[in-house]
């Protein structure tokens, strides 16, 4: 069990109080920190764990600003979000309170635009897939003159695989373009070359300007064909077997460039990378804690590093010791998801979970009785639920996770 130090007289403003945010709120309270949570959902489950809760949209800075000016009674020492894609709003809020201990405003703004982030990486000679902004179908065809299929089309300003399509022919280009456009707040769409190879999720700390690569998970795209043209990840496996020491060294060099050029002294860099032709390419990076349990559960269970404690201390401006970054274990675990493609669809009447939970670290279903689910998983938010399992080997952990999900009984009306 991870030991937690007590930090008294500190108040943390937590943006988001959903299921994914609970581990972070709980960790902060274990550390003796007073937590104030905001969420646009007045029934957000995280309010049960925070000291104070207010119904405020965390996606709209003006609402947060109004809350701070009219309702906030305590001095805030740090602002954080656990697994929510809002680095710019975190920076704005921290700047407003004059407590920005992590990501500068301009750096956060650049990171939220996939095109500007790609331009930045290209400028600094970081290996990335070829890419281009497209304004119409002719632009896509022009891109294809110098690039072979497959390609990926995506909105520049969304996450969780929303609006993304895998394209391997000229068929239905207009449909895919309009689909990406629909999910872009800026109405900006980009295409990029799809590099076939193992994909790895990474999560790293920047502490006093130095990069520490902590988390690596091999992303699982088994049975990807059944989700096409959508690109849907079906979990991941730790520790990574695809990222070698030379790749880790290269990643560290790239992240050091990103941290230096974006003036990041302290913070988190989340990476989506691919190993193509034995070389490391960065598909995307984000200046935030990852969602889906990677930073909150997977990394601590795998490494023994109290990832959330360190992240919280960074956002509070508290020093991190070298001992806190020491990896004490290398446990094997696998994450797998439940999809509607494996079931019927309609209105859910009941979900029966298996009674045998041997080797199951955690399981949760996002959907509940009474909810209506569609017949297709179009993005990661549409996955029904997940399980995290351990095992004596990777194959063992995968089997444990998949067996649990296979025995989940979803009854429809």
For the chain, give every domain's residue range.
11-100, 130-193, 196-328, 334-412
- Distance from C-alpha of 69 to C-alpha of 94, rounded to nearest angstrom: 14
Which of 61-70, 89-98, 123-132, 343-352 has the lowest average pLDDT? 343-352
- Distance from C-alpha of 30 to C-alpha of 127, rounded to nearest angstrom: 41
pLDDT computed for residue 42 by the predictor: 96
pLDDT at 1 over 60: no
- Distance from C-alpha of 355 to C-alpha of 367, rounded to nearest angstrom: 19
- By CB atoms closer than 10 A (0-12, 13-18, 19+), residue 41 is middle
pLDDT digits (tens, 9 = 90+) for 199-208: 999 999 999 9
pLDDT at 52 over 90: yes
Q: Could you tell me which CATH number the domain at 130-193 has?
A: 3.30.1490.20
Q: Which of 275, 130, 128 minimizes the C-alpha distance to 216?
A: 275
pLDDT computed for residue 5 by the predictor: 62
Q: What is the mean pLDDT of the chain?
A: 95
Q: What are the backbone angles phi and psi of residue 173, rounded to the nearest 5°?
A: -60, -40
Q: Which helix (H) or strand (E) holds 26?
A: helix 22-30
pLDDT at 8 over 70: no
Q: Which helix (H) or strand (E) holds 208?
A: none
Instruction: Name the fold adopted by 11-100.
Output: Rossmann fold (3.40.50)
Classify the C-alpha dihedral 14-16-22-23 as positive or negative. Answer: negative
More confident call, 373 vs 283 = 283
In this structure, whether the domain defined by 196-328 belongs to CATH 3.40.50.720 is answered with: no
pLDDT at 27 over 70: yes
Q: Could you tell me which CATH number the domain at 334-412 has?
A: 3.30.470.20
Angle at CA of residue 142, ends 161 and 168, nearest 5°:
45
- Distance from C-alpha of 46 to C-alpha of 43, rounded to nearest angstrom: 9
Supply the pTM of this predicted model: 0.94
Instruction: Give the residue carrying structure tokens 């790293």.
Output: 204
pLDDT digits (tens, 9 = 90+) for 397-408: 999 999 999 999
pLDDT digits (tens, 9 = 90+) for 108-139: 999 999 999 999 999 999 999 999 999 999 99
pLDDT digits (tens, 9 = 90+) for 240-298: 999 999 999 999 999 999 999 999 999 999 999 999 999 999 999 999 999 889 999 99
pLDDT computed for residue 344 by the predictor: 77
Distance of CA 240 to the CA centre of its chain: 17
pLDDT band at 366 (very low <50, low <70, confident <90, very high): confident
Distance of CA 224 to the CA centre of its chain: 20
pLDDT digits (tens, 9 = 90+) for 326-354: 999 999 999 999 998 888 788 999 999 99
- Distance from C-alpha of 13 to C-alpha of 37, rounded to nearest angstrom: 6
Which of 74-83, 133-142, 373-382 has the lowest average pLDDT? 373-382
Burial string for 156-166 (b: 16+ CB within 10 Å, else e) reads bbbbebbbbbb
pLDDT at 227 over 90: yes
329's tokens: 């274990």
Q: Establish whether domains 11-100 and 196-328 are of one fold.
A: no
DSSP state of 298: I
């Amino acid at each position: 069990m991870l030991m937690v130090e007590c930090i008294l007289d500190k108040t943390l403003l937590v943006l988001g109080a959903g299921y994914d945010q609970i581990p972070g709120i709980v960790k902060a309270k274990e550390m003796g920190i007073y937590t104030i949570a905001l969420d646009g959902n007045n029934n957000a489950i995280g309010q049960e764990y925070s000291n104070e809760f207010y119904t405020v949209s965390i996606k709209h800075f003006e609402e947060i600003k109004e809350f701070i000016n009219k309702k906030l009674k305590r001095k805030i020492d740090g602002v954080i979000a656990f697994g929510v894609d809002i680095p710019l709003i975190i920076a704005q809020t921290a700047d407003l309170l004059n407590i920005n201990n992590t990501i500068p405003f301009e750096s956060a703004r650049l990171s939220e635009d996939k095109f500007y982030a790609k331009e930045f990486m290209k400028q600094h000679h970081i290996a990335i897939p070829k890419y281009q902004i497209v304004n119409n179908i002719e632009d896509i065809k022009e891109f294809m003159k110098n690039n072979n299929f497959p390609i990926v089309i995506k909105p520049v300003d969304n996450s969780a695989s929303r609006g993304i399509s895998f394209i391997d022919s000229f068929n239905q280009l207009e449909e895919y373009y309009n689909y990406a456009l629909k999910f872009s707040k800026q109405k900006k769409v980009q295409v990029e070359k799809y590099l076939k190879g193992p994909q790895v999720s990474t999560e790293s700390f920047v502490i006093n300007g130095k990069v520490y690569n902590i988390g690596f998970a091999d992303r699982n795209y088994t049975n990807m064909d059944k989700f096409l043209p959508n690109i849907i990840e079906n979990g991941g496996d730790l520790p990574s077997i695809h990222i070698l020491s030379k790749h880790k060294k290269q990643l560290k060099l790239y992240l050091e460039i990103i941290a230096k050029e974006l003036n990041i002294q302290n913070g988190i860099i989340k990476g989506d990378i691919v190993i193509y032709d034995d070389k490391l390419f960065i598909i995307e990076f984000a200046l935030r804690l990852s969602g889906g349990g990677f930073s909150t559960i997977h990394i601590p269970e795998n490494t023994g590093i109290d990832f959330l404690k360190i992240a919280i201390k960074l956002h509070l401006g508290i020093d991190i010791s070298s001992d806190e970054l020491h990896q004490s274990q290398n446990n094997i675990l696998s994450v797998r998801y439940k999809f509607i493609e494996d079931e019927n669809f309609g209105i859910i009447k009941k979900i029966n979970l298996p009674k045998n939970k041997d080797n199951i670290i955690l399981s949760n279903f996002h959907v509940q009785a009474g909810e209506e689910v569609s017949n297709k998983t179009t993005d990661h938010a549409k996955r029904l639920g997940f399980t995290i399992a351990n095992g004596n080997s990777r194959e063992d952990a995968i089997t444990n996770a998949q067996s649990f999900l296979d025995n989940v009984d979803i009854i429809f009306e």
